[in-house]
Each structure stands twice: as structure tokens, then as C-alpha cells.
Structure 1
Amino acid sequence: MESVFEAQSKLVPEMVELMMERYRLLKLVKAAGPVGRRTLGEVSNMTEREIRTMLDHLRDQRLINISKTGTSITNEGIKVLHALETTIDNLSRLSLLAKKLEDFLGIRSVKVVDGSTENSSLGIEAAKQFMNEIGDGKTVAVTGGTSIALIPKYIKSSMLQKDLLFIAARGGVGEEIGLQANVIAASFAEACDSSYKAFYYPEALGEEAHKAFLKDPAILKMIDLYNTTDCVLHGIGDAQTMAKLRNSSMEEQQLLLEKGAKGESFGYYFDRSGKEVQRLRTVGIQTEQLQEVPLIIAVAGGKNKAEAILSYMASAPKQTILVTDESAANEMLRLLTECVK
């Protein structure tokens, strides 16, 4: 069950930033008090108006005293600092980790959650990003997989615009039924009180049958939808793990190893540099189409996924928001730092 803090941060996302600002100011008062307003402004890099507003609030809550000698912390203020210390330290640590990754990856944003993929943190954060960013009447393509399947249960339809259309980012080809993109698209539609459009791609089509399949009017309509997709939610898989899940032959798995495949997404396999080394014969959103999608949210976590995430991110669209966890983020930074040395 999610904590009260997690629930509050979803309901009022700006609360976290405001809380951290007030916490830092209260900590400065404790360290330097009695201290003047001008000094606090210089140290905290806030305007005089911002300082005055925050100090007034802290005083109203009896966390500080303001006198002629300056501002000082109260016993109640000290208790509040102690109570929030662990939470704020975690937020600050994760924010710093995210910023470092953003600088390395060159994408729009990285969100790092505490914990691992064994809990709900990834789903909660991805749902929050989606609810904050999506607008009315948008077309949303979703992939299959465990990480994306986590998200719908944390979406609140009351916080969303309506008339969304969810589609599978590519035709289903043999994943576990509950993790197929069509099923997950339906779950999103239910959570958002919206609609979805199923898309099925028959397994094991030969090249000629695949070409014939592409001429079907229903498939052409789906391809048109991919050209006008407004948002993509996708996972990132480990190349070898995905090959096994798809029952690839030993020869195919060996070929992926020889080509240096590390990660997989949208049916594409990528090497460490982000180069596409192999792809499935299926129908779905193409990597070149992703470049035109305004909102992309990638979700993947776990230390063992670090190389896979980096392989995809090496050529990911710059507008991507990556939602990952601390173990994956730390391992990615370690690998990236080694490359720089």
C-alpha cells in the first residue's frame, strides 16, 4: 500500500518542491540563527519577497522566532527538521542522481524512485508523469511488458482529460497474455475511462505473408494512427531475456550475442552504442516515428537492466522521460563513468 507521502505527492505534485525549499530554509536558520533576512536571501539564492513569504509561514507554524536580533529556530522547528530528515535526504539524493543521468543521457528528464521493480514505485511515478503531461483527445501507444502493466492501477481518471485513445505500440507476438500490449492498452483505457483499439499480428509470418498483411485496410489505418501518436509509454528489455521469452532459436540468440545486442524495445534490438542490430518482423511504431512523438515515457528498473536501458537511451528521442529506480540508476552511472575514463 502506498504511503501517505506518496499519495500526497500525486495529488499535489508541487508539494514536494515547496516542502524541500522550506526545509532548506529552516535548516539554514538552525545553522546560522539568529540570522537576518538579507543574509538568508544571499545564502539561499532567494529574492527578498520569497524569503519574507516563507519566513512568515514558518513563523505562523511556530517553527521560528523573528526578533530584532534576527531569525532563530524554535524547539518545534527542530522537531520538524528531525522528523523530515530521512525523507528529504532521500529526495535530495534521488534528485541528484537523476540530474547526473540527465546530463549523461541528454534526454528531457530522468525520474529516479526509491526501491526496485519489486514494489509499486515505478508504476506510481510513471502514472504521475503521464497524468501531469497528457492532454485531452490524445492518442497513446503502449508496449507490453511488466513495467508498463504496473501503471494503469495508479491512474486516477478524475485527474485526467477525457477522450484518450489507447493503442498497442506494435502487434502482439506471443508474450504472456496479461503482458501483451493489447491487454495493457485495454487496462489503460479502463483506468482512464477512455477507449482503445486492439491490434493483432499473427505469429511466425513469412516474408511474403508479412508483405500481404501490410496491405490490409485495417493495418493501414493502424499505421496512420502511429503517424499521429501523441504519447508513447514503453518498457526496455534485456536483449537475451527478450529473445528467450519470444522463443527465439539458439542460432538467433547466438547471433544477438555476436552482434553485441544489449537492449530491446519496440521489437528492435540495440547494441551498447544504440545502433539497431536486429528487429522483429512485425508491425508497429517505428524508431523514426518516435522522433515526432511529443511525449515519450520509458519505464525500466533493476540493476540487471542497466546495460539494456543505456543501449536504448544511446539513440532515444531527446523528448524522452525515463522513469527508473535507484539500483538501475547507480549501475548506469557506474557504467557511464567507466566509459569516460
Structure 2
Amino acid sequence: MNLSFYEAQLALVPELPLLIEQRYQMLKLIKASGPIGRRTLSSMSGYSERETRTMLDLMKEQELVHIAKEGVSTTEKGIEVLFVLHDTMEEKSGRRQLANELAERLGILKVHVVEGDSDDSPLTKKLLGMQAAKQFRSRIKGNEIVAVTGGSSVAAIPSFMQQDELPNVQFIAARGGVGEEVGLQANMIAASFAESCHATYKAFYYPDTLSEEAHAVFQHEPAAKEMLELYSRTDCVIHGVGDATKMAVLRNSSEEEQQILQDQQAKGEAFGFYFNQQGEIVHRIRTVGIQMEQLQDVPLVFTVAGGASKAEALLSYLASAPSQTILITDEGAAQNMLSLM
């Protein structure tokens, strides 16, 4: 019998894979949420306070975490351990296979799937933000124009980019401001990205209720013309995808507009465009922003959205998304998307 080193380890400590998985997930949770209190960590991880304390003591001894009055956080060594283990752990979990199958069937560049379902867990939304920040930073050169949309998934990204220095990158709103919650508007999120990366940003405010005639005039205003010129030179777009019905309600759309969306069987929304199941644009709101045809020429496109409830909306947008799209999603959305396909 010729056992490999790993097989010999398993023979001696059969619970080794489970222990590694548990501690890896705990370390990842601390990275996404830290500094975090021990009790909160116990509640979010599903382990008892005693089990949590035991794991934290072990990880502190190995200098993977730092425990202070404000909570537990990862050390540089802990972050490095997460980085080294990431690919192997993703392969073992089945998420890598799930992501590859989705990318192939959707015809897009890449898919990254994080664990969990954003519909059920606020932590999963943080993991989406952490993964999106990692992928963005690995592909950005440092002198790009980056357009970002509003929404909670995109808003979760900047907090994971606090150690990045990108002074020559300019963040801009992917379209004029609309009536979402202030903290989730594209202008505010662009500012958050810029602050985290020590970069610059350009805000763009667009009234929600312009008539068709006023909209035509507004496009010739200096601020709008400047943004249109920036959109033509955009190097990267980071955007979310919304459920068509929910977005119409969020924007206080008229009953007539909501009826149009219902009649046209709109499923998803992105950039102010509404899509049906086949990926066709069936409606759009009046605003100044990146156009769908422009998106085809943007070198880097990150689509960030998760939750099983978003599967239909994601499929409607991705049916016509540019091939250079990188999708960051979660297991809830990914599995539901495959089942719908």
C-alpha cells in the first residue's frame, strides 16, 4: 500500500477536511465582517459561543486573527491564508464547477459564485462585495474611467477596497441620479469608491420627472455633454441588476408605466432599461447614462447581483449582455438560474 502524504494525514486525523473547512469559513466570515464581536460572530456562523471561542483562540495562537475591544479582525497572515486556500476550497465546494457551467451556458467571460443566498443572509451580500472588489482590483491597471450604478450589491463593494491606492482612476455614475434611497444612488456609491481608493469621482444629477421635451433640452446642458463624453471613454462598468417590478415601484413609476412593464412581461432592469425573458429591451426610463450599445465596447463589465429571487431578472439581462461580462453572484441565484435554464 502506497499512501500519499495527504492520505496518511486523513488516516491519522479523518476529521481534518471538516476542521479546515470550518476554520476557513470562520476566517472568511471575520474578513467580510470584522471587526466583529464574538457573540455576533457566533450567531452569524451558526456555531455555539463555546465553539466560536475555541476556534478564535486557535486562530489567535496562529496569528490569523486579532482580538481587540472593538471585535475580531483578520491579520495580514490570515488574509494570506484565505488567498492561498481560496482556489482549493472553491473547487471542493462545487462552486467552481457551478460557476464554469453558468459561464459556458450564458456565453460570458467569467462567473464567480460565493456561498449562500443574499435573500436569506446579509453576510452573503458582503461576500459578493468582497469577491467583486477582489476581481476588480486584479484586473484594473490604475488609470481607468469606471462607471458604477446604484443598488445594494454595488454599494457593498467599496468597503473591501480600503487598502487600494488608485489616484489616477476616475469613478462616475453610470447614469443620472434617480429616486432610490440616497445611500444606494450611483452618485453616492461612486463617491464611496473614490474615497476607498483615494481616487477621483464625478457626480451627475438628473431630475427624475423631466418631460420628453425637457429631457431633449437637458442633454445639451454642459454637465450632460461632459458625462456623455466620459461615457464614450469608459473602461470599466460595475453594475447591479434589479427585478423589473420592484424597480418600477422603487422609482415611483406611474400606473401606466407599470402596466406597460406587465404587458411586456419585463423581468429585469439595468441602467434604466427593462428586459423581457429573451433579453429584449421592452421599456426604458428617460435619463442620461450609458447606453446598452455602448456597453458592448467597454473592455471590463462586472455584473454584481445575488439571491434566488434575482435569478429571473439576471437571466433576462444576461441574455443580451456583452460577452466580456464577469458575473459575481451567489449560490442561491446561480442554482436557481441553472434550474430555470
Aligned to 2:102: 101
Aligned to 1:210: 215
- 1:147-162 aligned within 5 A: 147-158=153-164, 160-162=165-167
The unaligned stretches of length 5 or more in structure 2 are 25-88
Post-superposition shift, 1:85? 5.7
| SS state at 1:83 partner | helix
Give yes or no for contact 2:148–2:239 (8 Å, CA) kept in 1. yes
Select which of 125, 130, 135 maps to 1:124.
Answer: 130
Please give the alpha-carbon distance, in whole angstroms, between the structure 2 residues aligned to 1:89 and 1:280: 39
Deviations 1:291-313 (A, max 9, x none): 11111110111111100000000
| SS state at 1:140 partner | strand
Post-superposition shift, 1:208? 1.2
Select which of 239, 242, 245 maps to 2:250.
Answer: 245
Please give the alpha-carbon distance, in whole angstroms, between the structure 2 residues aligned to 1:91 and 1:190: 36
- 1:1-341 aligned within 5 A: 34=2, 80-84=16-20, 88=89, 91-117=92-118, 118-119=122-123, 120-158=126-164, 160-336=165-341
Give yes or no for contact 2:167–2:200 (8 Å, CA) kept in 1. no
| SS state at 1:141 partner | strand
Post-superposition shift, 1:175? 1.1
| SS state at 1:264 partner | strand
TM-score by length of 1: 0.75
Please give the alpha-carbon distance, in whole angstroms, between the structure 1 residues aligned to 2:97 and 2:251: 37
The unaligned stretches of length 5 or more in structure 1 are 1-32, 36-54, 65-71, 337-341
Post-superposition shift, 1:90? 7.3
Cα pair distance change 1:148/1:89, threshold 3 Å: closer
Cα pair distance change 1:255/1:161, threshold 3 Å: same
Post-superposition shift, 1:230? 0.7
Post-superposition shift, 1:136? 1.3
Post-superposition shift, 1:76? 5.7
Alignment RMSD? 2.0
Post-superposition shift, 1:150? 0.6
Displaced runs of 4 or more, over 6 A:
none
Give yes or no for contact 2:117–2:307 (8 Å, CA) kept in 1. yes
Cα pair distance change 1:190/1:260, threshold 3 Å: same
Deviations 1:6-64 (A, max 9, x none): xxxxxxxxxxxxxxxxxxxxxxxxxxx506xxxxxxxxxxxxxxxxxxx8xx6xxxx57
| SS state at 2:322 partner | coil
Number of equivalenced pairs:
271
Please give the alpha-carbon distance, in whole angstroms, between the structure 1 residues aligned to 2:334 and 2:157: 20
Give yes or no for contact 1:157–1:193 (8 Å, CA) kept in 2. no
Cα pair distance change 1:206/1:329, threshold 3 Å: same
